[in-house]
Structure 1
Amino acid sequence: MADVTLTFENGTLRVETERDVPFADSDPRSKTLRAPAFRYAAIRDYCEERGISVDDSVLDAPDLPPCYSAYELRDYQQKALDSWEDADRRGVLELPTGSGKTVIGVKAIERCQAATLVVVPTIDLLEQWRRILDTEFDVPIGQLGGGEQNVEALTVSTYDSAYLRADDIGDRFGLVLFDEVHHLGGEGYREIARLLAAPARMGLTATFERPDGAHEVVSELVGEKVFDVHVDELAGTHLAPYDVKRLTVELTPEERERYEDAQGVFTDYLASSSIRMRSGSDYQELVKRSGSDPKAREALLAKQRARDIMMNSEGKVTALADILDAHRDDRIIVFTAHNDLVYRLSERFLLPAITHRTSTPERRDVLDRFRRGEYSRVITSNVLDEGVDVPDANVAVVLSGSGSEREFTQRLGRILRAKEDGGRALLYEVVTEETAEVRVANRRR
């Protein structure tokens, strides 16, 4: 009789033994030990290293026919995959947008030859992964999300659907791939990884670290970052060489007056309070106080007014007009932080617009036309930052955005796919002088 018996039950491991087993705690209901499902590989390794016999019936994964991909890895992609292999098939790979992270994931499936769950943040990525897997591997592809709930040996799921189904299907896969793995740091989504028993785990992202530090949780659930390559290392070879130009604009006299008035209300409140706005927690404290303190609410609204003025200044509209005129023959994506500015500029310059309000069929139509060259420019808020297969462009214009390095990196990545003519990509940052936006722009760089 085996020293340890392992079974899977609703996202957990039932551990029957008289021995001490790491990560397993007493469960009075079953009178056994119980551990989170993601500890499966660690418990197996522990037992193997000590010669402890195991009766293991945890995985009930469907058979995967032999899967071989026609992709040939570039040198950095091969190094990334090898680094993951050397880390016992666990870990996060950080590569720039456009560098072929999906290809590495496909080759990981080929290496493991195991039933695989691919988890993605958006329907667009779900459809993209499903197309690629369907093309590369002659096997049925399951789908969780987008109106389908079908599990196969190769299955693609949204984070939302995986969250709802993980305890039920946690024993069905030997490998799990988390695309845009930084999303896994969210309070709810991290449960997906906890409830899956898959011993092999890969995370793919362009920007791993999260400002809230939740990437440390991802490291525990998926593995440490085992490979990274900076965009500058690939620019000019595997990615397009690029330039970043910052254009500064001024507020009009009327905008300046309104900005200073709003900013004054905000700074006056800070001076009379204990809030110093040195971190995100300070801002959260201001929001909290605004629920009961009228002056805090007035300060919060004033800050928002000042932000709207600097982010949507008339000078930015003029600058965009000049950029569009100077790049008549280029393919351009314009990024803003606000939907209102998207629609304002869309109407003024006759630019196809994509925001979170844009329906999926309309968004798909706009991007298809952009891909075919019927549209040479498009304007968007944050919805094209990640999770959408965006056609090639060579010019990006950041009219407004946050101080997030991730957001900046993702937007830059949208224009970095290598060009057939070997041309350089160009990103414009348009920043309003003598406003808080200067600090925001410096922070994201």
Structure 2
Amino acid sequence: MTVTLRYENGSVRVDGDVSDAVRSTLPGVESDPRSGGLRAPAFRYAAIRDALSAADVAVDDRGLDLDDVPNLETSYELRSYQEDAVDAWEDAGRRGNLELPTGSGKTVIALAAMAALSTPTLVVVPTIDLLEQWRTELEAEFDVPIGQFGGGEQRIEPITVSTYDSAYLKAEDVGDRFGFVVFDEVHHLGGEGYRDAARLLAAPARMGLTATFERPDDAHEVVAELVGPLVHRLSVDDLAGEHLAPYDVKRVEVELTPEERERYEANQETFTDYLATSGIQMRSGSDYQELVKRSGTDPEAREALLAKERARRIMLGSEAKVAALGDVLDRHRDDRVIVFTAHNDFAYEVAERFLVPVVTHQTSASERREILDRFREGRYSRIVSSNVLDEGVDVPEANVGVVCSGSGSEREFTQRLGRILRPRDGKTARLYEIVSADTAEERVASRRR
């Protein structure tokens, strides 16, 4: 008896007489009353195929519908640590995640894997900026048409690059058209809405690329199930000085003025007094969501939330912090500087105070592209951003970063540091953290380090 595998609407369909003993070895399968056979999410296709082969079951494999791809070649010569990463991925059965610092050439590693497989490949990225960067790189490296899902285009080619949003929407229809899928900034795949982008694809070969694999919500365990385990890891310090620019990190602590201190403490007290009587401990995002929920009907909860916001504004935008930023910008007037903030209001304040171009989530794609191009060309020597430049933007000329505010996330800190580590002759990168002393910001800064 031959078992037939088919791709169908984001799932793999298993038809034929499968014994109970064999069925127990097939991961993720469930009975399908409509077809009378078995069915599993498409990402299980390779494991099901391999399990049937191991059980000596004859298989009529119709799971993939792949177009021919010419022999792909890459002009890049891999560095030794990049070869190690590719080898580790190969040894893991061409499934797994690679954690390497920003600037270490993760794209080059993926291109080498694509050349080795020469199979239809989907590259999935989180932003339009990365979509355009990948498409430009793929067009330059491989002499084949490059498809695109996202950014106003919906065109499939054997080599296609897609945003996570578009991959989620298209995966059910094109899930059998690719033998290899690359998830850039793969930690995004842990988000609830994006997981189906991987579940609905049948591609046997899978590679995840990131500078920070683990997520504080443990969703990296889902990523490991969908893409494969973490198979290779290198830190910034493993490569700094040889393959990345050497770097220094300096913390600058500033004091609130007496008037700022009085207002900060008063607002913090309003906030903490409410927490003490409400039973909310603010240990997780769900605690904050509960506070926001209560603020809709409870005036005291609303005042506590507003007090927390007022304290934040004082802490993150103090007079001394702005003055310290001015000192750093003056000291590095001949360098390329990125100023990182956590909030739009402070980013716009910095832009107005120091006449610095600003990039936020409100900045249009065309304006953002123009600002970044001028920064790369040297027409702008400094830019300020609220989070949107933390990842996925290639600005190799940047050599100074200033963190004026941020979260306690180690990922965010690593990504911001990575923006200034692209190697260049004679370059030493410097990252400044400007922190308001004796405030909640000190604890946040310590967590991310």
Please classify the TM superposition score into its range, dividing by the shorter chain length. Answer: over 0.9
CA distance in 1, matches of 2:387, 2:311: 20
Contact 1:219–1:225 under 8 Å retained in 2? yes
1:26 aligns with 2:25: no
* Residue of structure 2 in register with 1:81 after alignment: 86
Superposition map of 1:373-412 within 5 A: 373-412=378-417
1:299 aligns with 2:298: no
Superposition map of 1:261-300 within 5 A: 261-300=266-305
Deviation of residue 296 (structure 1)? Answer: 1.7
What secondary structure sits across from 1:211 in the alignment? coil
Between the two proteins, what is the percent identity of the paired residues?
70
Superposition map of 1:172-321 within 5 A: 172-321=177-326
Deviation of residue 355 (structure 1)? Answer: 1.1
* Residue of structure 2 in register with 1:7 after alignment: 6
* Residue of structure 2 in register with 1:323 after alignment: 328
Deviation of residue 174 (structure 1)? Answer: 0.3
In structure 1, runs of 5+ residues without a counterpart are none
Partner letter of residue 441 of structure 1? A
The equivalent position to 1:442 in structure 2, one of 416, 421, 446, is 446
Contact 1:124–1:389 under 8 Å retained in 2? no
Deviation of residue 419 (structure 1)? Answer: 1.8
Contact 2:394–2:419 under 8 Å retained in 1? no
Deviation of residue 14 (structure 1)? Answer: 1.1
What secondary structure sits across from 1:357 in the alignment? coil
The equivalent position to 1:372 in structure 2, one of 365, 369, 377, is 377
Question: How many residue pairs are counted as aligned between the two chains?
Answer: 443
| TM-score (norm. length: structure 1) | 0.98
What secondary structure sits across from 2:278 in the alignment? coil
CA distance in 2, matches of 1:246, 1:301: 29
What secondary structure sits across from 1:328 in the alignment? coil
| TM-score (norm. length: structure 2) | 0.97
1:345 aligns with 2:344: no
What secondary structure sits across from 1:68 in the alignment? coil
Contact 1:5–1:15 under 8 Å retained in 2? yes
Point out the more displaced range, 27-36 or 242-251.
27-36
* Residue of structure 1 in register with 2:15 after alignment: 16
What secondary structure sits across from 1:161 in the alignment? helix
Point out the more displaced range, 277-286 or 60-69.
277-286
What secondary structure sits across from 1:66 in the alignment? coil
What secondary structure sits across from 1:104 in the alignment? helix
Deviation of residue 277 (structure 1)? Answer: 2.2
1:360 aligns with 2:376: no
Partner letter of residue 29 of structure 1? R
Question: What is the aligned-residue RMSD (CA, Å)?
Answer: 1.1
Point out the more displaced range, 95-104 or 265-274.
265-274
Superposition map of 1:134-149 within 5 A: 134-149=139-154
Contact 1:392–1:414 under 8 Å retained in 2? no
CA distance in 2, matches of 1:12, 1:210: 27
CA distance in 1, matches of 2:293, 2:97: 35
Point out the more displaced range, 278-287 or 77-86.
278-287
* Residue of structure 1 in register with 2:338 after alignment: 333
Superposition map of 1:51-90 within 5 A: 51-90=56-95
Contact 2:78–2:109 under 8 Å retained in 1? yes
What secondary structure sits across from 2:388 in the alignment? helix
CA distance in 2, matches of 1:341, 1:307: 11
Deviation of residue 283 (structure 1)? Answer: 2.4
Contact 2:147–2:160 under 8 Å retained in 1? yes
What secondary structure sits across from 1:334 in the alignment? strand
Contact 2:396–2:421 under 8 Å retained in 1? no
What secondary structure sits across from 1:203 in the alignment? strand
Deviation of residue 325 (structure 1)? Answer: 1.2
In structure 2, runs of 5+ residues without a counterpart are none
Deviation of residue 197 (structure 1)? Answer: 0.2
CA distance in 2, matches of 1:172, 1:204: 21
Contact 2:390–2:412 under 8 Å retained in 1? yes
